[in-house]
A = this chain, B = another copy of it.
Amino acid sequence: MSFEFQVEATSGPARRGRLITPHGEVETPVFMPVGTLASVKGVSQDVLEQLGVQILLGNTYHLYLRPGVEQVRKLGGLHRFMAWPRAILTDSGGFQVFSLSELRKVTEDGVTFRSHLDGSQHVFTPESAMEAQIGLGADIIMAFDECTEHPADPPRVRQSMELTLRWAERSKKYFEAHKHEVPWNHVGSAEFADKTQALFGIVQGGMDPALRKESAERTVEIGFPGYAIGGLSVGEPRQLTREIVGSTIEHLPADQPRYLMGVGTPEEIVEYSGLGIDMMDCVLPTRAARHGLLFTSEGKISIKQARYAGDQGPLDPNCSCRVCTRYSRAYLRHLYASNEVLAQVLNTVHNLSFYLDTMRAVRHSIALGDSPHSLSEVWSRLKP
C-alpha cells in the first residue's frame, strides 16, 4: 500500500491515528507547518526534524512559479530538492490562485490567472494542477477545487460546488492515468517501487449544511483515500466555521482521514481535533512569529513590547523548546526591536514547537480516552 490510515484510539468524535505514506508515518491529529516555497521560513530542515515535524505542506502555486515544477521534477521531486525525507502534502494551487493572483478568470475548463510576481499569464486546470502536483511529488496531493468566496448567494454556492465536483472527477481521472509518473517512482529504489501519491478530495458548499452534505456525499461517491474540508476560514464567524465543520464531518467516512484546510489558532486546532479532524495546516504560527506574536501556555505575547526589555524569564516557563530553555524574553525582545534575522528564526521555532506540543498533548488526551476540549485543559497536563 502507498497510503493507509489507521485509527488507533477514539474518544467521542475525536480520533488518534496514523497516516502511512511513502515517506514515513504521521501521527494524527496532526498540524502541518507550511513550507510555501520549499522552506518553512527561516527554519532549517534539521531543526524541523528535531521539533518532531512528520509532515510539511508545500504550496503548488508558489512552487509552480518558483523554481518551477519541471525544475523540481528533474531534481527528483520536492523531498530530494529540499532535503526533507519525511512526508509532504501539496495543495492544489486553487486557493492561492483565488487569493493572490490578479485578473483571474474561471471557466469550465479551469482558471486563467496572472502571476503575483511578474504579471505573466498562466492556466490551471484540474489536469494541469494534477500534472504539477505529480511533478512536485508530495505524498498527499489535493484535487483542484474552486474555493467559494464568502459571502455568496445560494445559486452561486451551488454552481461553485458543482464545478468543484466536476473538477474532482477530472482530477481523479488524470491522476489515475499518470500517478506512476511521480519522480520518486523513477529512482529505482526498492523502497519506492510501485508507490504512488494519495489524492484527496475537497468538500465545498459554502456555509450551507445541506450543500456541505451533498458535496461530501458526492465527493465520497467519486472516491478518494482522504477528504478535505475547504472553503472555510474565509471571513465567516468562528461559530459558523465550527457548525459547518461539525455538520460536514458527519458525512465523511469514519475510516478515512479528514483534513480541515487553513486552520487555525492553538485553541482552534484543539477544538477541531475534538470534533474528529485529523489534519490541519495554517500559516498562523509562522506568520505571527515574523510579527513578534508568540503563543504560550499562558496566552499570547507580543514580544516587541517594551515591558519585556528587562524580563529575564523564558518566553514560556512551561515550554521545553530550544528557544525557551536558552533565551530570555529580554533577548528575544532585543532581537525583534533591532530587526535581527535571528528574531524570526527563534520566534518561528518557538511557535511551531508550541503547536506541535499542543498536538502531542491532544493525541495523548485522545489515547487516554479524554476528548480534548480546550487549549488550557490540554496544556494543564503538560505543566510541570
Contacts and interface: CB of A to CB of B under 8 A. Distances in A.
Interface of A: 37-39, 41-46, 66-67, 71, 74-76, 81-83, 309-310, 312, 322, 326-328, 330-331, 334-335, 337-338, 340-342, 344-346
Given A309-B71, A328-B83, A330-B75, A44 B345 contact: yes
A179 to B, nearest CB: 25
24 contacts: A37-B338, A37-B340, A39-B335, A39-B342, A41-B341, A42-B341, A43-B342, A44-B342, A46-B326, A66-B338, A67-B334, A67-B337, A74-B310, A75-B310, A75-B330, A81-B328, A81-B330, A81-B331, A82-B331, A83-B326, A83-B331, A341-B344, A341-B345, A345-B345
A186 to B, nearest CB: 15
A91 to B, nearest CB: 18
Contacts of A43: 342
State how many copies of this chain the complex holds: 2
A251 to B, nearest CB: 40
A2 B360 CA distance: 47
Contacts of A42: 42, 341-342, 345
Contacts of A45: 326
A166 to B, nearest CB: 34
A113 to B, nearest CB: 19
B310 A71 contact: yes
A305 to B, nearest CB: 14
Contacts of A83: 326-328, 331
In order of increasing CB-CB distance, the 5 nearest A-B pairs are A42-B341, A39-B342, A67-B334, A83-B326, A39-B340
